[in-house]
C-alpha cells in the first residue's frame, strides 16, 4: 500500500527535485537577496526559490525605483517616534542596504543614477525646514557632509507651481526597477539557485513547503512574501496598495531627479524623458489596505489634479500606463526579520523603502539560517 502523495511523485523527483538545504518562498527583492546571500556564503548549498507568479507579483517589479533613505519630513517624524538613535539606525540600514545592492549587482546593471532627491514643502509642511540642521548633524557620521539643504532656486527650473519650498538631498538616487530585478534574477541563476515560478505555496512548516502539486522539504524555510504573508503565517501586518503612472509630456520634462511630497505619500521622478508618478494612498487608507491589485479612481483623480496644478502646470500630458503594487506595513517601520515559534524564518513587512532594505533583510535572514543550520 502507498499513500496518495507518493503515488504522485517519482523517485527521481524525490531524490533531486523536491529536497533542498534551504527553500525561500517569494522571488521579490527580499527573497532573491536572501537566496543570493546564502549561496554567496556557502556555494555548496542547494537552494530553491518558489514564486507564485510567472514574474514576481508583489512590490519589487511594480515600485517607483527610488533609491532613497527618507526625506526631511519623514526623518523628522521618525526622530520623534524612534528617538535620535532610532532614526539614525533606520537611515544607516537603508543606506547600507542600497550599497549592498550596488556592490552585488553593479550600478550600471541596475540603472542607478544619483541625480539627487527633493522634497516639495507647502505652507503646512514648511516647518520641516527647522529640522534640517539637527537632522544633518545626526547623519554626519554616515554621509560626512550635509544631507539636506534648501534649494528653492530650482523650483522654477523644474517647472513646479504652488510649491513654496524645495529641500534637496544630493545622496538620493533612482534605479531602473526592471533592470534591478532582472539582474538580481540573473545573478541568482549564475550562483546556481533554482527558481520555480507559477507555483503558489499553500502551506509552510519548519522543514516543508507545500504547493498544490508537491511537498518540498528543506533543512530551513524562509518566507519572504511581504504583503501576502498572512495567508501563510499569522503576523501583525497591513497591506498597502500603491498606484504608479508612467506619463509622456508634450513638452520636454523639466523635472530631473526623485521628488516626494506630503510626507512621502506622493512621489515622482524622471525616467528616460517620462514622468513616473505615484502615491496618494493616504486618501483612502482603509480601502487601500488590500492585497488585491487595482486602481482606486478617487486616488487616480487626485494624481491628475496634482499633475495639472503642481507638477506639470501648463503642460499637456498623457498617461502611457497605470499599475498598482502591494506594500506591507506594521506597527513600526522596522521590517520583520525573525524566526517564528514554529521554526520558520521570516524576512517581510518591508514598507515603502524596500528597494533600499531588501538586500539587507536578505542578508540578515541568511545570517540567521547559516548560524543555526550550516
Ligand X SMILES: Cc1cc2nc3c(=O)[nH]c(=O)nc-3n(C[C@H](O)[C@H](O)[C@H](O)COP(=O)(O)OP(=O)(O)OC[C@H]3O[C@@H](n4cnc5c(N)ncnc54)[C@H](O)[C@@H]3O)c2cc1C
Q: Quick check: 201 binds ligand X (CB under 6 A)?
A: yes
Minimum distance from residue 240 beta carbon to ligand X (Å): 8
Q: Please give the residues from 267 up to 296 whose contact with ligand X meets the rule CB under 6 A.
A: 278
CB contact at 8 A, 124 and 168: no
Q: In Å, what is the CA distance from 214 to each residue of 14, 111, 217, 222, 273?
A: 10, 38, 10, 18, 46
Could you say which of 36, 48, 63, 117 contacts ligand X (CB under 6 A)?
A: 63
**Which region among 27-35, 183-191, 302-310, 313-321 touches ligand X (by CB under 6 A)?**
27-35
CB contact at 8 A, 181 and 203: no
CB contact at 8 A, 216 and 48: yes
Q: Quick check: 209 binds ligand X (CB under 6 A)?
A: no
Instruction: Give me 166's grid cell.
Output: 524645495
* Binding pattern for the stretch 305-344 against ligand X, x by CB under 6 A and - elsewhere: --------------------xxx-----------------
CB contact at 8 A, 79 and 135: yes
Closer of 133 and 301 to ligand X (Cβ): 301
Q: What angle do CA 263, 267, 269 make, to 5 degrees?
A: 145
DSSP-derived secondary structure for 261-287: ETTTTEEEEEETTEEEEEE-GGGGTTT
* Binding pattern for the stretch 232-251 against ligand X, x by CB under 6 A and - elsewhere: x---------x-x-------
Minimum distance from residue 254 beta carbon to ligand X (Å): 21
Q: What is the largest CA-CA distance in the chain?
A: 80
* Binding pattern for the stretch 354-373 against ligand X, x by CB under 6 A and - elsewhere: xxx-x---------------
Q: How many CB atoms lie within 10 A of CB 126?
A: 12
Could you say which of 112, 259, 352, 363 contacts ligand X (CB under 6 A)?
A: 352
CB contact at 8 A, 149 and 54: no
Q: Cα(119)–Cα(138) distance, rounded to whole angstroms? A: 19
Q: In Å, what is the CA distance from 366 to each residue of 49, 173, 196, 328, 370?
A: 13, 27, 19, 21, 6
3-state secondary structure of 78: helix
Q: Please give the residues from 81 up to 110 whose contact with ligand X meets the rule CB under 6 A.
A: none
Could you say which of 255, 353, 368, 369 contacts ligand X (CB under 6 A)?
A: 353
Residue 285: phi and psi, rounded to 5, are: -55, -40
Q: Quick check: 266 binds ligand X (CB under 6 A)?
A: no
Q: Quick check: 171 binds ligand X (CB under 6 A)?
A: no
Q: Quick check: 225 binds ligand X (CB under 6 A)?
A: yes
Instruction: Give me 323's grid cell.
Output: 499599475
Q: Cα(47)–Cα(270) distance, rounded to whole angstroms? A: 37
Q: Quick check: 66 binds ligand X (CB under 6 A)?
A: yes
**Which region among 49-57, 77-85, 146-154, 294-302 touches ligand X (by CB under 6 A)?**
49-57
CB contact at 8 A, 124 and 82: no
**Which region among 20-28, 127-135, 143-151, 248-256 touches ligand X (by CB under 6 A)?**
20-28
Could you say which of 24, 35, 59, 253 contacts ligand X (CB under 6 A)?
A: 59
Closer of 166 and 358 to ligand X (Cβ): 358
Q: Quick check: 117 binds ligand X (CB under 6 A)?
A: no
Which residue ranges make up the site for ligand X (CB under 6 A)?
25-31, 50-53, 56-60, 62-66, 68, 200-201, 224-228, 231-232, 242, 244, 278, 325-327, 350-356, 358
Amino acid at each position: 500500500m502507498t499513500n496518495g502523495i507518493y503515488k504522485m511523485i517519482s523517485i527521481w523527483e524525490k531524490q533531486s527535485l523536491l529536497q533542498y538545504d534551504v527553500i525561500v518562498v517569494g522571488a521579490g527583492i527580499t527573497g532573491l537577496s536572501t537566496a543570493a546571500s546564502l549561496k554567496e556564503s556557502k556555494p555548496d548549498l542547494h537552494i530553491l526559490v518558489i514564486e507564485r507568479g510567472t514574474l514576481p507579483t508583489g512590490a519589487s517589479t511594480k515600485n517607483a525605483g527610488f533609491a532613497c533613505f527618507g526625506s526631511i519630513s519623514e526623518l523628522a517624524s521618525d526622530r520623534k517616534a524612534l528617538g535620535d538613535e532610532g532614526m539614525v539606525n533606520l537611515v544607516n540600514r537603508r543606506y547600507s542596504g542600497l550599497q549592498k545592492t550596488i556592490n552585488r549587482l553593479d550600478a550600471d546593471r541596475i540603472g542607478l543614477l544619483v541625480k539627487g532627491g527633493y522634497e516639495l514643502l507647502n505652507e503646512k509642511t514648511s516647518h520641516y525646514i527647522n529640522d534640517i540642521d539637527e537632522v544633518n548633524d545626526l547623519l554626519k557620521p554616515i554621509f560626512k557632509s550635509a544631507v539636506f539643504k534648501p534649494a528653492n532656486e530650482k523650483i522654477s527650473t523644474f517647472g513646479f507651481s504652488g510649491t513654496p519650498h524645495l529641500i534637496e538631498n544630493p545622496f538620493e538616487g533612482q534605479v531602473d526597477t526592471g533592470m534591478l530585478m532582472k539582474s538580481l534574477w540573473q545573478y541568482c541563476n549564475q550562483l546556481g539557485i533554482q527558481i520555480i515560478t507559477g507555483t503558489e505555496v499553500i502551506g509552510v512548516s519548519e522543514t516543508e513547503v507545500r504547493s498544490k502539486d508537491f511537498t518540498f522539504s528543506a533543512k530551513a524555510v524562509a518566507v519572504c512574501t511581504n504583503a501576502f504573508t498572512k495567508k501563510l503565517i499569522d503576523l501583525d501586518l497591513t497591506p498597502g496598495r500603491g498606484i504608479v503612472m508612467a506619463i509622456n509630456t508634450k513638452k520636454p520634462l523639466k523635472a530631473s531627479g526623485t521628488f516626494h511630497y506630503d510626507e512621502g505619500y506622493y512621489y515622482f521622478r524622471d525616467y528616460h524623458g517620462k514622468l513616473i508618478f505615484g502615491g496618494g494612498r493616504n486618501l483612502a487608507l482603509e480601502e487601500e489596505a488590500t492585497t488585491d491589485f487595482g486602481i482606486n479612481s478617487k486616488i487616480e483623480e487626485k494624481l491628475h489634479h496634482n499633475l495639472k496644478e503642481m507638477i506639470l502646470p501648463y503642460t499637456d500630458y498623457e498617461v502611457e500606463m497605470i499599475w498598482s503594487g502591494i506594500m506591507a506595513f506594521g506597527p513600526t517601520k522596522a521590517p520583520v526579520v525573525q524566526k517564528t515559534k514554529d521554526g520558520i524564518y521570516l524576512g517581510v513587512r518591508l514598507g515603502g523603502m524596500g528597494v533600499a532594505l531588501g538586500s539587507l533583510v536578505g542578508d540578515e535572514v541568511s545570517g540567521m539560517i547559516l548560524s543555526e543550520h550550516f
